[in-house]
């Protein structure tokens, strides 16, 4: 490898693979993780499908009802996030044997910069092979790894030989590697961008690389045009960042049946708001942007957001905004399938100082601290803010 050695490690069908490991009777069967209680017939979406299920066209984020239609004989399981998180933690410990430059992308994938580790452990492909071997031997799971001089190339490479693959792109081979791949592999190339590329006569990344940079700037604007120009030629100098500040924190729920009663929906939204506020305080974070998500019967989804003057992390500050956003977006004649709330534009706050940024802290902070103490001792949900909803309903 050349100047940099970047790995992208992607666990293969992670949730489903863990379930197969825990229950060998599942081996060889289509397995879908993410079902709601009605054994795959009802609500929710697919979190992960194993490779046997993917042969039926089942993939992540697909409605469970559609997965069931395609393969009713599959085994449908609810996620066990504590188990998956613990295994993810142990896999990260394997990474840490080789480098401390680790950038987690999700529970089952991460970028690793092993440039400085080559003298001790061998070149990038050797380190990748050692990581794969350790994961297989210690966790009885497989990972696919891309090894290249940049994050962009490594990420694409890890996806080209799944499962249990190792794809290496040597320095100087980036444009040749990218040339035959479809434009959809370019980061940021969504449906609108793909249509513009089609009008420019491009179907592959190699064809994009032949375009003059000015053509791309005119077609996509300075920022996106420059990005596509660079990425299509394999140029990506972004570092692996090992200490990310979380960008958002949210919760959502899918109802067992589509709900017409708005009081039921608002109570669910209030409960989700309490969970988000508690999580923010536990992580010593506060957020300035409140987003409410709604999905109607028929799967149409809308979001509404508002940015506050100061970051907040108590339900007393978040709930009135969330409720107002919900009511502004609501279509009373439609039943609600899913509701969620997210806080973004996050800032870190000092430990033990809820709503540090807010000028009128006091009662809210003391209430929040008391609720946190009770939740720690007796479990979440011990104390709720139902009075907030009741007050709103009385107006």
Q: Which residues contact 213 (CB under 8 A, 6 or more apart)?
A: 225, 226, 229
Which one is catalytic: 19, 20, 36, 109?
A: 109
Asked whether 143 and 11 are in contact (CB, 8 A), the reply is yes
Same domain for 159 and 19, yes or no, is yes
Are 119 and 209 in a shared domain?
Answer: no
Residue 357: pLDDT band (50, 70, 90) is: very low
243 in a structural domain: no
pLDDT digits (tens, 9 = 90+) for 16-65: 999 999 999 999 999 999 866 465 456 688 999 999 999 999 998 898 88
Q: Report in angstroms the alpha-carbon separations of 266 from 52, 324, 340, 380.
A: 40, 10, 10, 19
Q: Which of 115, 141, 169 is the last residue of a domain?
A: 169
Same domain, residue pair 101 and 184? no
Token pair, residue 135, equals 């994961």
What is the tens place of the pLDDT at every residue in 359-375? 444 445 545 554 544 44
The predicted model gives 335-346 an average pLDDT of 94
Q: Is residue 181 part of a domain?
A: yes
Residues 6+ apart with CB under 8 A from 56: 30, 70, 71, 74
242 inside domain: no
Q: Which residue has the higher pLDDT, 391 or 117?
A: 117
pLDDT of res. 131: 98
Are residues 341 and 317 both part of a single domain?
Answer: yes
Distance CA 214, CA 311 (A): 40
Q: 342 and 195 share a domain?
A: no
CATH of the domain at 196: 1.10.150.20
- Domain assignment present for residue 284? The answer is yes
Domain range for residue 347?
248-394
Q: What confidence tens digit (pLDDT) does each residue in 210-268 have?
A: 999 999 999 999 989 999 999 999 999 999 988 666 688 999 998 888 999 999 999 99
**Domain boundary, last residue among 169, 184, 205:** 169
Helices then strands, counting H and E runs in the chain, come out as 15, 12
**In terms of domains, do 286 and 348 share one?**
yes
Whether residue 4 sits in one domain with residue 128: yes
What residues have CB less than 8 Å from 55, skipping those under 6 apart?
30
From 169, 202, 222, the end of a domain falls on 169
126-172 pLDDT, tens digit per residue, is 999 999 999 999 999 999 999 999 999 999 999 999 999 999 999 99
Model pLDDT, residue 61? 86
Tell me whether residue 154 is in a domain. yes
Report the pLDDT value the prediction gives residue 264, as an integer from 0 to 100: 95
Domain total of the chain = 3
Q: Which of 362, 385, 371, 360 is nearest to 281 (CA)?
A: 371
CATH number (domain holding residue 351): 3.30.1490.100
Please tell me whether residues 165 and 195 are part of one structural domain. Answer: no
One domain for residues 46 and 118: yes
Does one domain contain both 59 and 159? yes
For residue 297, tell me if it sits in a domain: yes
Q: Mark whether 183 and 58 lie in a shared domain.
A: no
Of residues 190 and 293, more confidence is placed in 293
Residue 109 among the catalytic residues:
yes
pLDDT for 317 equals 95
């Amino acid at each position: 490898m050349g100047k940099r050695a970047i790995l992208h490690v992607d666990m293969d069908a992670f949730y489903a693979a863990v379930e197969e490991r825990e229950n060998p009777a599942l081996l060889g069967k289509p397995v879908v993780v993410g079902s709601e209680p009605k054994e795959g017939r009802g609500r929710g979406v697919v979190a992960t499908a194993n490779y046997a299920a993917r042969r039926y066209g089942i993939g992540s984020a697909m409605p469970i009802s559609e997965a069931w239609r395609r393969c009713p004989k599959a085994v449908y399981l609810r996620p066990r996030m504590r188990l998956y998180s613990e295994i993810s933690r142990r896999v990260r410990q394997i990474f840490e044997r080789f480098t401390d430059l680790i950038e987690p992308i999700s529970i089952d994938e991460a970028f690793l910069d092993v440039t400085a580790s080559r003298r001790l452990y061998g070149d990038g492909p050797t380190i990748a092979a050692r990581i794969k071997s350790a994961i297989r031997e210690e966790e009885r799971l497989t990972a696919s790894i891309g090894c290249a001089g940049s994050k962009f190339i490594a990420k694409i490479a890890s996806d080209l030989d799944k499962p249990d693959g190792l794809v290496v792109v040597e320095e100087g081979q980036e444009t040749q590697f990218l040339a035959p791949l479809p434009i959809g592999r370019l980061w940021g190339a969504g449906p609108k961008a793909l249509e513009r590329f089609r009008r420019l006569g491009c179907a592959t990344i190699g064809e994009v690389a032949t375009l003059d940079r000015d053509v791309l700037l005119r077609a996509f604007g300075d920022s996106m045009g420059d990005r596509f120009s660079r990425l299509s030629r394999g140029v990506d100098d972004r570092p692996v960042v090992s200490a990310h500040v979380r960008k958002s924190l949210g919760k959502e729920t899918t109802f067992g049946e589509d709900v017409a009663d708005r009081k039921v929906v608002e109570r669910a939204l209030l409960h989700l708001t309490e969970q988000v506020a508690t999580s923010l305080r536990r992580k010593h974070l506060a957020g300035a942007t409140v987003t409410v998500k709604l999905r109607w019967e028929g799967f149409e989804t809308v979001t509404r957001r508002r940015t506050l003057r100061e970051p907040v992390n108590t339900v007393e500050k978040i709930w009135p905004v969330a409720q107002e956003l919900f009511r502004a977006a609501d279509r009373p004649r439609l039943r609600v399938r899913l509701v969620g709330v997210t806080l973004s534009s996050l800032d870190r706050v000092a430990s033990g100082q809820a709503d540090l940024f807010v000028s009128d802290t006091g009662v809210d902070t003391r209430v929040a601290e008391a609720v946190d103490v009770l939740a720690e001792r007796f479990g979440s949900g011990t104390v709720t803010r139902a009075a907030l909803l009741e007050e709103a309903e009385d107006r």
